C-alpha cells in the first residue's frame, strides 16, 4: 500500500527537452511546490551540512549578539537548520516559519527527536501570524529572500518584519551577492547528488537583468527523470538592498562579512556560492492596543430557514431531529463566553434585518449550508449577500462554494494537481443509451451537483448496463434531478475523511483521519455512506460508524499533504472536509471536497474532533477563532477588518429564535 502512495512522489516524468527561453517556463508561484525532498537532495551539500550550519550561526550570533532569552524568529526557515542550532546553543525562545509543509514537518520531527524547544509554523512571509512587537531578532538566512515575481512582495516581507520586531529589534538577511552572480553564474552544469541521482542545470538572466532563471532536471539512474523544474530568484546588490531597507523604514543598515559556502561535494554551488550578510534595526514606538470596556465580539449566526421546505430532507421539512441539532448548537455556543451571539434564520427578512441592525456584528458565523431559501444551489448566495453588505464571515467564498458544488470540476482541478481521482464520465440529461462504456463495472451513479449525499442510495451501485440505466432513471424521477450525472468507478478500499480547521499555510489543525466502519452492514449491501446513512434511521446504513483510520504512515502523510493543497487551491477558509476512498491497491483517490462541512454535533467533523479530544463547543470555538484571526488580517474578501466592524457595544441587535 505504501508503495502505491510513494509512486505518486517519485514517478517517472517526461522532460521538456531543449528550451530556448527559460524565463517563459517559470510560474509566478514556483516556490509553492519546489521545496520538497528533491530540494534536500540537490542542495543537501549545503543545507544539510551541520558544519556549514554551525559556522553560519556563529556569524549570525556575532552580528546580532542576542541574549539567551531573546525572542528569535528564523523566517523562511526551511527544515529549521538554523533555528534548531540556536536552540541547541541554549537559546530558549526560538521560532521558525516556512511556506513548505514538507520542510516544516521535517523540522518538527527533528525538534521532537532532539528534545529542543523550537516552535515551527507554516505561513507566508508576506502575512505573518504574529502580534506586533514580538521578536528581538529575525533572521532570513540561506538565500531565502527574493523568490517573488514582484519587488513589492519583498517589500511586504520587510514591512511585516518591521511590524513584529520590538522597538530596537534587528533583522539579519543572508542573501546571494547579486553582482557576483550576474558575472559568475554557470549557464550549464551537472553533478552527481549521490550514487543514484544526478542533476543537470541551466541558467540565464531574465530579460530585465534583475533575476537569475534556473532550470533543474533531476534524474534517477533507473527511474529516469523525476523532476524538470524552473525557478527564478531576484538578484540584489549591496546598493539595492540598502535602498530596499530604507523603503521599509529600517535604520542602522550595516553590511558584514560575506558567507562563502564550502561544500564537501565541491561542485555547482549556484546561489549559495557567495552571499551578503546585512543587518538593520527598527526604531519605533511600542504598539499600544486600546480595547473597549466590553471585549466580547458580537457574532451573527446565520442558518437555514426552518419555516421553508428543504428538498434534501426526507420529508422536505425541518423535523424534530433538526430542531434538536439546532438546540445542541445553541447550547454549545452559549458556553463560549467570549462572544455575544445573535441568530438569523428567516430568509425572507434576511436582507432587511441585516440592513436595519443598529450596528454591524463583528462577523457572521455562516452555518447556512442549506443555501438561501434552503436551496442547495444557492449556498453561494449567502456569502455573496454578505460581501455586498461588507460583512466579514466564516467559511468559503462564493467562488469556493461554486467550485466545490461541481464534483466534475473538482475532479479536473485535482487531476491538474496530480491528485488521483476515480475514473468517471458525465451523463447529460439528454443521454439515454450507453453504446460504449469507458469504465468497467461496478460503478456508482452520483448527481454531479449537490451535497448531503442527495440522490445517492444503495441502488446507485451498478453491476451492468440495465442497473446503470435504472439508477440514472431513479435519480431523475425519485429525486427530481435533471442535471448532469457522474458515473464513477466504484472503489472498494477504505472510505476516508480528512478534516481541517484553520487556514493553511499560516495556522491550521488537521483533525484525526477517520474511516467508515461497515462491519454492521448485511453482506449483500454495497459499502457506501450515502443518503440512507445520513437521513433514514430505520435503514441498516444507520449502523455505520466512523472510527479512527488505520492507515500506513506514508498514506496518511500523502492524504494530509494533498488536502492542504486542495484547501488552498479551492480557496476554502476556516474549515473544510475532504472525502477519499482507497482503490483495490490502496491508492487514495479523491471523491469530493466539502467547504463549510456539516457543523452538527454528530457530524463527521465533530467525530474527528472528538477523536482528538476536542469537544463540540471547542470545535465550534476553533472555527470561530480561525475566522476571527483571518478577518483581523484583512483577509475577508472585502478589505474590511473586524476592528472596523466592531459590534461589541451594540445595545440592541435583531434576534430571531430558531425554536
The sign of the torsion formed by the CA atoms of 465, 467, 468, 469 equals: positive
Residues 611-619 have a mean pLDDT of 95
Please, which pLDDT band fits residue 478 given cuts at 50, 70 and 90? low
**How far apart, in whole angstroms, are the C-alpha atoms of residue 437 and residue 425?**
9
Residues 36-63 have a mean pLDDT of 91
CB 364 within 8 A of CB 393: yes
Residues 214-238 have a mean pLDDT of 93
- Reply yes or no on whether the pLDDT at 293 is more than 70: no
Nearest residue to 275 via CA among 148, 143, 144: 143
Domain count, the chain: 1
Q: Where are the alpha helices (DSSP H) in 115-237?
A: 151-164, 178-184
**How far apart, in whole angstroms, are the C-alpha atoms of residue 199 and residue 179?**
25
The 3-class SS string of 247-270 reads HCCCEEEEECCCEECCCCCCCCCH
Q: Which helix (H) or strand (E) holds 558?
A: helix 553-569
**How far apart, in whole angstroms, are the C-alpha atoms of residue 529 and residue 493?**
13
Please, which pLDDT band fits residue 639 given cuts at 50, 70 and 90? very low
| Domain presence at residue 175 | yes
| Domain presence at residue 426 | no
**C-alpha of 321 from chain center:** 33
CB 462 within 8 A of CB 444: yes
* pLDDT for residue 632: 87
Does the bond joining 505 to the residue before it have cis omega, within 30 degrees of 0? yes
Please, which pLDDT band fits residue 451 given cuts at 50, 70 and 90? low
- Reply yes or no on whether the pLDDT at 654 is more than 50: no
Residues 441-460 have a mean pLDDT of 79
User: Is the whole-model pTM more than 0.85?
Assistant: no
Please return the burial class of 571, using the count of CB atoms within 10 Å of its CB with bins 0-12, 13-18 and 19+: middle
Q: Which residue has the cell 553533478?
A: 191
Cβ neighbour number for residue 478 with a 10 Å cutoff:
11
Indicate the SS3 state at residue 18: coil
Q: Which residue has the cell 467550485?
A: 403
Q: Which residue has the cell 475577508?
A: 636
**How far apart, in whole angstroms, are the C-alpha atoms of residue 188 and residue 432?**
58
**How far apart, in whole angstroms, are the C-alpha atoms of residue 281 and residue 14?**
48
Please, which pLDDT band fits residue 432 given cuts at 50, 70 and 90? low
| Domain presence at residue 154 | yes
Q: Could you write out the DSSP letters of every residue in 429-482?
A: TT----SS-SSPSPEEEEESB-STTTT--GGGEESSHHHHHHHHHHHHHHS---
Number of H helices, E strands in the chain: 19, 25
| Domain presence at residue 104 | yes
Indicate the average pLDDT of the chain: 87
More confident residue, 236 or 638: 236
pLDDT tens by residue, 518-539: 888 888 888 877 766 666 777 7
Does the bond joining 380 to the residue before it have cis omega, within 30 degrees of 0? no
| Domain presence at residue 634 | no
Nearest residue to 305 via CA among 265, 353, 236: 353
| Domain presence at residue 25 | yes
The 3-class SS string of 278-342 reads EEEECCCCCCCCCCCCCCCEEEEEECCCCCCCCCCCCCCCCCHHHHHHHHHHHHHHHCCCCEEEE
Residues 347-373 have a mean pLDDT of 88
135-140/165-176 β-pairing:
parallel
Residues 280-309 have a mean pLDDT of 82
DSSP bridge pairs for 514: 497, 548
- Reply yes or no on whether the pLDDT at 440 is more than 50: yes
- Reply yes or no on whether the pLDDT at 362 is more than 60: yes
Query: Per-residue b/e over 416-441, b at no fewer than 16 CB within 10 Å?
Result: eeebbbbebbebeeeeeeeeeeeeee
Residues 190-214 have a mean pLDDT of 93
**How far apart, in whole angstroms, are the C-alpha atoms of residue 449 and residue 405?**
6
Going edge to edge, which strands form the sheet with 339-344?
Answer: 339-344, 297-302, 363-366
Cβ neighbour number for residue 213 with a 10 Å cutoff:
21
**How far apart, in whole angstroms, are the C-alpha atoms of residue 280 and residue 242?**
9
Which residues does 504 contact at the CB level (< 8 Å), separation at least 6? 101, 122, 564, 567, 568
Please return the burial class of 15, using the count of CB atoms within 10 Å of its CB with bins 0-12, 13-18 and 19+: middle
Q: Which helix (H) or strand (E) holds 225?
A: strand 224-234
| Domain presence at residue 102 | yes
- Reply yes or no on whether the pLDDT at 62 is more than 60: yes
CA-based diameter of the chain, in Å?
79
- Reply yes or no on whether the pLDDT at 209 is more than 90: yes
* pLDDT for residue 32: 86
Residues 91-96 have a mean pLDDT of 95
| CATH number (domain holding residue 183) | 3.40.50.150
Q: Which domain holds residue 246?
A: 17-191+233-281
| Domain presence at residue 415 | no
Which residues does 537 contact at the CB level (< 8 Å), separation at least 6? none
Amino acid at each position: 500500500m505504501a508503495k502505491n502512495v510513494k509512486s505518486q512522489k517519485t514517478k517517472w516524468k517526461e522532460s521538456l527537452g531543449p528550451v530556448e527561453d527559460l524565463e517563459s517556463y517559470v510560474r509566478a508561484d514556483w516556490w509553492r511546490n519546489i521545496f520538497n525532498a528533491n530540494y534536500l537532495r540537490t542542495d543537501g551539500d549545503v543545507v544539510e551540512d551541520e558544519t556549514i550550519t554551525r559556522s553560519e550561526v556563529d556569524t549570525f550570533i556575532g552580528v546580532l549578539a542576542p541574549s539567551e532569552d531573546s525572542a528569535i524568529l528564523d523566517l523562511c526557515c526551511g527544515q529549521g537548520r538554523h533555528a534548531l542550532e540556536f536552540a541547541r546553543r541554549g537559546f530558549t525562545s526560538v521560532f521558525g516559519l516556512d511556506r513548505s509543509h514538507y520542510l516544516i514537518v521535517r523540522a518538527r520531527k527533528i525538534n521532537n527527536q532532539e528534545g529542543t524547544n523550537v516552535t515551527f509554523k507554516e505561513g507566508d512571509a508576506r502575512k505573518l501570524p504574529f502580534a506586533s512587537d514580538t521578536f528581538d531578532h529575525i533572521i532570513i538566512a540561506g538565500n531565502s529572500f527574493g523568490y517573488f515575481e514582484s519587488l513589492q512582495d519583498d517589500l511586504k516581507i520587510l514591512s511585516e518584519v518591521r511590524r513584529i520586531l520590538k522597538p530596537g529589534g534587528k533583522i539579519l538577511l543572508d542573501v546571494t551577492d547579486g553582482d557576483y552572480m550576474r558575472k559568475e553564474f554557470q549557464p550549464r552544469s551537472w553533478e552527481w547528488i549521490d550514487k543514484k541521482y544526478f542533476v543537470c542545470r541551466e541558467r540565464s538572466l531574465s530579460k530585465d537583468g534583475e533575476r537569475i532563471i534556473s532550470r533543474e532536471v533531476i534524474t534517477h539512474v533507473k527511474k529516469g527523470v523525476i523532476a524538470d523544474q524552473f525557478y527564478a530568484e531576484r538578484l540584489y546588490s549591496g546598493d539595492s538592498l540598502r535602498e530596499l531597507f530604507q523603503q521599509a523604514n529600517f535604520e542602522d543598515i550595516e553590511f558584514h562579512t560575506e558567507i562563502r559556502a564550502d561544500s564537501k561535494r565541491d561542485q555547482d554551488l549556484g546561489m549559495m556560492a557567495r552571499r551578503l550578510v546585512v543587518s538593520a534595526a527598527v526604531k519605533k514606538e511600542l504598539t499600544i492596543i486600546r480595547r473597549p470596556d466590553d471585549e466580547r465580539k458580537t457574532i451573527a449566526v446565520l442558518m437555514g430557514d426552518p419555516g421553508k421546505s428543504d428538498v434534501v430532507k426526507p420529508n422536505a421539512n425541518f423535523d424534530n431531529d433538526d430542531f434538536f441539532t439546532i438546540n445542541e448548537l445553541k447550547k454549545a455556543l452559549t458556553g463560549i463566553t467570549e462572544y455575544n451571539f445573535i441568530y438569523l434564520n428567516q430568509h425572507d427578512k434576511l436582507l432587511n434585518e441585516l440592513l436595519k441592525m443598529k450596528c454591524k456584528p463583528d462577523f457572521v458565523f455562516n452555518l447556512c449550508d442549506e443555501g438561501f431559501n434552503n436551496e442547495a444551489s444557492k449556498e453561494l448566495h449567502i456569502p455573496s449577500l454578505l460581501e455586498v453588505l461588507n460583512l466579514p464571515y466564516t467559511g468559503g467564498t462564493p467562488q469556493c462554494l461554486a467550485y466545490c458544488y461541481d464534483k466534475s470540476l473538482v475532479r479536473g482541478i485535482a487531476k491538474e494537481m496530480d491528485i488521483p481521482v476515480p475514473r468517471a464520465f458525465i451523463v447529460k440529461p439528454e443521454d439515454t443509451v450507453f453504446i460504449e462504456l469507458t469504465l468497467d463495472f461496478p460503478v456508482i451513479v452520483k448527481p454531479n451537483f449537490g451535497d448531503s449525499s442527495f440522490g445517492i442510495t444503495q441502488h446507485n451501485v451498478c453491476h451492468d448496463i440495465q442497473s446503470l440505466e435504472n439508477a440514472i432513471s431513479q435519480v431523475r424521477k425519485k429525486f427530481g434531478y435533471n442535471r448532469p450525472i457522474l458515473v464513477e468507478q466504484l472503489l472498494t478500499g477504505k472510505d476516508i475523511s480528512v478534516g481541517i480547521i484553520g487556514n493553511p499555510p499560516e495556522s491550521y489543525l488537521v483533525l484525526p483521519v477517520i474511516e467508515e466502519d461497515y462491519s454492521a452492514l448485511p453482506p449483500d449491501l454495497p459499502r457506501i455512506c450515502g443518503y440512507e446513512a445520513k437521513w433514514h434511521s430505520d435503514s441498516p446504513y444507520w449502523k455505520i460508524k466512523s472510527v479512527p483510520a488505520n492507515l500506513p504512515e506514508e498514506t496518511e502523510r500523502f492524504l494530509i499533504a494533498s488536502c492542504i493543497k486542495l484547501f488552498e487551491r479551492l480557496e476554502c477558509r476556516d474549515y473544510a472536509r475532504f472525502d477519499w476512498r482507497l482503490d483495490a491497491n490502496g491508492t487514495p483517490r479523491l471523491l469530493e471536497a466539502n467547504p463549510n462541512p456539516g457543523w452538527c454535533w454528530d457530524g463527521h467533523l465533530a467525530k474527528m474532533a472528538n477523536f482528538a479530544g476536542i469537544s463540540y463547543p471547542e470545535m465550534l470555538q476553533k472555527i470561530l477563532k480561525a475566522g476571527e484571526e483571518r478577518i483581523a488580517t484583512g483577509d475577508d474578501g472585502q478589505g474590511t477588518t473586524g476592528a472596523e466592524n466592531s459590534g461589541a457595544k451594540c445595545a440592541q441587535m435583531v434576534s430571531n429564535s430558531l425554536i
